[in-house]
Amino acid sequence: MDRAKLKQTRERKDKILNAFVWSSAAVTVGFLFWIIWYILSNGLQHVDWAS
């Protein structure tokens, strides 16, 4: 393989892995927002601010 072919292969692999990292981060942030929403929607009604 020549250098141009190796560089093209490396760049393609880098783009795929970068997309995987960003999609994993998006799933993680979405899951954290879902946890916060779930806690606030189901647990906030039980909070008693008077005591």
Q: What is the pLDDT of residues 1-17, one digit of tens each?
A: 699 999 999 999 999 99
Q: 23-41: per-residue pLDDT in tens?
A: 999 999 999 999 999 998 9
Euclidean distance between CA atoms 33 and 41, whole angstroms: 12
pTM: 0.71
Euclidean distance between CA atoms 15 and 2, whole angstroms: 20
Joined together, the tokens standing for residue 35 give: 């946890």
Q: Give 1's contacts (C-beta < 8 A, 6+ positions apart).
A: 9
